[in-house]
Structure 1
Amino acid sequence: MLGVVIWTDADDSKAIIRCEDHGELAFLSQPAKVESGAEKLDQGDLIQFDLEEHRNLRMAHNPRKIEQQYCGDIKAVMESAVKVQAEAMPNLPPKNSKLLNFTRAKQRNTLGSVGSAA
């Protein structure tokens, strides 16, 4: 499967990927100690990966970078999408300035056991 990295957390070696099939997002969580030859993934990179589905989650494995900064303007695109949504649906509650705020989820450790019981 091919996909574009839309969010990364380098400290935890995690990423969220928009997949070529336009299905659900895929989640990547690599071991804390990745191999020395492993490439660092950044927002906007085009990658190829193996995909596994666990219940209703899509998990990416074995990522291989195809092109660095393939979609270098992904942050601007996402910010624009938020503005368009706010204009189209003015009755939605206002969002904070962060597009993807995973801090609360990380603090609650809600994603910590993803895929542990298949």
Structure 2
Amino acid sequence: MIGVVVWSNASREKAIIWCEDQSTLAYLQGRANFIDARKWPQAGDLVELETRTAGNLRHAHNVSMLSEQLAPHLPQILSQYQPDTGGPQLRIVAQQDRAPCSASASRHSDDGYTTARSNAAG
């Protein structure tokens, strides 16, 4: 599957990937799951990956770089997107590892990820 990295933290070896199947985001953790050991993927990089779900979390593995910085402004574009139809909307609830977040709209886990619900029907 193909995906675009929308968030990355090289020092913690974590990244979040938006996948072409438009399902839940995939979480990359640790260099063992990233094939290219030379550098960690950054927001905007196009990657190829496999996924598996454990509990309610989708993990990325066998991730390889296809194109660096193909869409470097994607996180900013997604945070500014305003749908006209009231359909599902992706919201960036935090852009830093440990930013406070609202319990009703997001969940902040112990590993530093902040996840958000889509704003489907209100």
TM-score over 0.5 for the pair: yes
The residue number in structure 2 matching 1:2 is 2
Indicate whether 1:100 and 2:107 are aligned.
no
Q: Of Structure 1 and Structure 2, which has the larger fraction of its residues in helix?
A: 1
Q: Distance in 2 between the 1:27 and 1:48 partners?
A: 13
- Supply the AA of the counterpart residue of 2:97: F
Distance 1:110 1:15, change over 3 A: same
Alignment check: 8 A CA contact 1:79 1:99 kept: no
The AA in structure 1 aligned to 2:30 is: Q
Instruction: Give runs of ≥4 in structure 1 deviating > 3 Å.
Output: 34-39
Aligned with 2:64: secondary structure?
A: strand
For 1:55-96, what per-residue CA distance to the aligned partner results, in whole angstroms no more than 9, with x for missing partners? Answer: 211000121000111112213302312xx37x999xxxxxxx
- Listed as ranges, the gaps of 5+ residues in structure 1 are 90-97, 113-118
Q: Percent of aligned positions with the same letter in both sequences?
A: 29
Distance change in 2, residues 1:109/1:21 (3 Å): closer
1:58–1:35 distance in 2 versus 1, CA, 3 Å: closer
Which stretch has the larger CA shift, 38-47 or 12-21? Answer: 38-47
Task: Quote the Cα distance in structure 1 between the aligned partners of 2:73 and 2:36.
Answer: 29
Equivalents in 1 of 2:37, 2:111: separation in Å?
Answer: 27
Find the counterpart in structure 2 of residue 55 from structure 1.
Answer: 55
Q: How many residues align?
A: 100
TM-score, reference length from structure 2:
0.65
Q: Tell me: CA distance 1:69–1:36, structure 2 relative to 1, closer, same or farther (3 Å).
A: closer
- Give the TM-score taking structure 1 as reference length: 0.67
Instruction: Describe how 1:1-118 pairs up with structure 2 within 5 A.
Output: 1-31=1-31, 37-81=37-81, 84=82, 99-104=94-99, 110-111=110-111
Structure 2 residue matching 1:77: 3-state secondary structure: helix
Higher mean displacement: 63-72 or 19-28: 63-72
